[in-house]
Amino acid sequence: MGRWTLDEIPWDRFDRSKLDTEIVRIVKAASVVEYNGGAYAHHLCRIFCDDPDFQQAARRWGEEEIQHGKALARWAQLADPNFEFDVAFGRFQAGYRVDFDCDVSRRGSRSGEMIARCMVEVATSSYYTALRDAAREPVLKEICRNIAADEFRHYKLFYKNLMRCLERERIGFWSRLRIAAGRIAESEDDELAYAYYAANETERPYDRRYFKRAYARRAYGLCREHHVAHGITLIFKAVGLTPNGLLARAASRFAWRAMRTRAIRLEKAAA
Ligand SMILES: [Fe+2]
Ligand SMILES: [Fe+2]
């Protein structure tokens, strides 16, 4: 289990007057993605089949991701009593399929898998920090504070294992960078768009472009420059670059501008 439990969340402080309906929608989407964490843990155990210590850490990690899903789902049901988490999760599982039962990483190596996992934890750590800062509802703030701390700890877990894997595998800087960039680009793939659809839409059929933009508009709109800067330092560290140097600062400014431009464009398109 995680370092916090659902019973420690101050559910009785829930304040309906501070709800933001746009945030409720992305929390519903996040709840189904997080709850799917057990499938990824199973995949990591297959990839590290001869490493019982890491398997144990991966299973614990998966349990923590599932707990994130449960906490977010419970909050979303408080915010919207019509939200049926089980139905949403069933729709997500039926429509978004990845082969988690193979024992070889699609990143080509164990180190590659760890780099990809680091990228996901960077993104979630920054995202839940941004959501915590943007939310006015106090229970959601507390949930996001806990989750963001977990995601940062998950990054450290995978980074530590990456260093161990790199002692045995020769993965050059460019390969690390390519894997990292590839995984970041995948954040625009179907997973989040389909989760947003499965958790929020019951009338219309799935339209990838539409739901990708619907999710991204709400998610990017939450991020501020310091959230992006925090993420860039962790990305640089994972690919083997100096995390606080000139290059990192330049990349951070570039990434922030790119995200801001995208957020403004999506807002205008939706207006
Ligand atoms: Fe999570
Ligand atoms: Fe995580």
Q: How confident is the model at residue 74 (pLDDT cuts 50, 70, 90)?
A: very high
Residue owning tokens 């962790």: 234
> How many Å lie between the centroid of ligand 1 and the Cα of residue 63?
10
> How many Å lie between the centroid of ligand 1 and the Cα of residue 65?
4
| End-to-end Cα spacing for the chain | 43
pTM for the whole thing?
0.93
> How many Å lie between the centroid of ligand 2 and the Cα of residue 269?
32
Residues 6+ apart with CB under 8 A from 117: 44, 154, 158
User: pLDDT (tens digit, 9 = 90+) per residue, 158-199?
Assistant: 999 999 999 999 888 999 999 999 998 887 788 999 999 999
> How many Å lie between the centroid of ligand 1 and the Cα of residue 3?
13
Which tokens belong to 8?
């420690």
Q: What percent of the chain has pLDDT above 70? A: 99
Among 62, 69, 22, residue whose Cα is nearest residue 46: 62
> How many Å lie between the centroid of ligand 1 and the Cα of residue 257?
26
Instruction: Please tell me the number of the ligand nearest to residue 121's CA.
Output: 2
Q: What is the pLDDT of residue 103?
A: 82
> How many Cβ atoms are within 10 Å of 170's Cβ, its own excluded?
9
Mean pLDDT of the chain: 93
Residue 97 DSSP SS3 = coil
Length of the chain: 271
Distance CA 265, CA 271 (A): 10
Q: What is the pLDDT of residue 2?
A: 58
Q: What percent of the chain has pLDDT above 90? A: 86
User: pLDDT (tens digit, 9 = 90+) per residue, 30-66?
Assistant: 999 999 988 899 999 999 999 999 999 999 999 999 9
54-63 long-range Cβ contacts below 8 angstroms, 24+ apart:
54/161, 57/157, 57/161, 60/1, 61/37, 61/154, 61/157, 62/37, 62/38, 63/1, 63/2, 63/37, 63/38
> How many Å lie between the centroid of ligand 2 and the Cα of residue 94?
23
Q: What is the pLDDT of residue 124?
A: 95
> How many Å lie between the centroid of ligand 1 and the Cα of residue 248?
25
Q: What is the mean pLDDT of residues 226-236?
A: 95
